[in-house]
Amino acid sequence: MSVHVVAGDDPSLASAAVGELVHRLVGDGDRSLMVDEFDGDEYDLGAVAASAGTPPFLTEHRVVVVRNLGRFTSDEARALTGYLQAPLDTTALVVASAGAPPKHLLDAMKSAGATIRDTDPPSRAKDRRLWFDEQLALSGLRLEPAATAMVLEQLGEDVGRLASVLSTLESTFGGERRLGVDDVRPFLGEAGSVPPWDLTDAIDRGDAAAALVTLRRMVRSGDRHPLRVMAVLHGHYARMLRLDGAPVHGEREAADLVGGSPFQAKKALDQLRRLGHDGLARAFDILAGADLDLRGQRDLPPETVMEVAVARLSRLVVRRQR
């Protein structure tokens, strides 16, 4: 019938995707007769191949769900790769994997015409919004634009909570009316962490208020130690330092010099132009002072040290613009 691979690093998102897929494959059928699941450390792939190769009984097709494939070697996987060379038309094989499945199995599943779904949300804000809209459409909920923005802002990087938030909203309100900010706010919990580029982007804009809010979410909700935040900032300014005075023409040459994508290189070039050589030197002075304070030069809480540094870095942009 079909082979489906559901991959992703977030267990809750992958589990929700598998549940939705199995529900769709079963349809109006009897789940107890149609679905056979393999999970944990006790099963072997010979049993999976035997189940997938068994014709359906009292149903039109069967669904075989298998998890935790990463522990199998290529020798142990021979039974399943053998089945994949001639899969039954009446069996839907659903493979759930944390990250990509082992290459030998992934190649065999691709040869069998597998559909592959990556449940990890994209990192870019625009793409993440499209991904969120897809999850929202699958849930059957309708949210006002302001409510959608609030959910995205509150969850941040903690997208693993999205499935439970949407499920709770659906069970509470159903899908009959459009939900507003006041409807969704009580169900969002604490603010999740945010990606590190949210911090560097706010600093680059000179938006100290937004940068401080982002810093606090990274440290408090994201469990990032201030020294890890310092490493993010140092890497950000180190890219500019490598470009300072370098004979580069355009973002592609810049990317070759500093590494990363042309998009990241362009951001570094643009910010270097705003700061100038003197502003960049001042940024490293601020980072060096904060690093010493984090290591005990002054008796200040680590979060306070980082707040002062972030505020000063943000002010550099405003000063240069003036």
pLDDT tens, residue by residue, 258-281: 777 777 788 888 888 888 898 999
At 284 the pLDDT is 93
Reported as a pLDDT band with limits 50, 70 and 90, residue 288 is very high
Q: Which of 122-126, 196-200, 288-292 has maximum average pLDDT?
A: 288-292
Reported as a pLDDT band with limits 50, 70 and 90, residue 165 is confident
For residue 116, what is the enclosing H or E element? strand 115-118
Question: Which residue ranges does the chain devote to CATH 1.10.8?
Answer: 125-187
At 192 the pLDDT is 59
Question: Which residue ranges does the chain devote to CATH 1.20.272.10?
Answer: 196-321
Tokens 């597998």: give the residue.
Answer: 114
Does 196-321 carry CATH code 1.20.272.10?
yes
> Phi and psi at residue 142, in whole multiples of 5°?
-125, 125
Helix 125-139 / helix 162-173 crossing angle, nearest 10 deg: 40
CB 204 within 8 A of CB 274: yes
Question: Which residue ranges does the chain devote to CATH 3.40.50.300?
Answer: 2-118
Q: What is the architecture, at CATH level 2, of domain 125-187?
A: Orthogonal Bundle (1.10)
Task: Check whether 109 has a pLDDT greater than 60.
Answer: yes
CATH superfamily of 2-118: P-loop containing nucleotide triphosphate hydrolases (3.40.50.300)
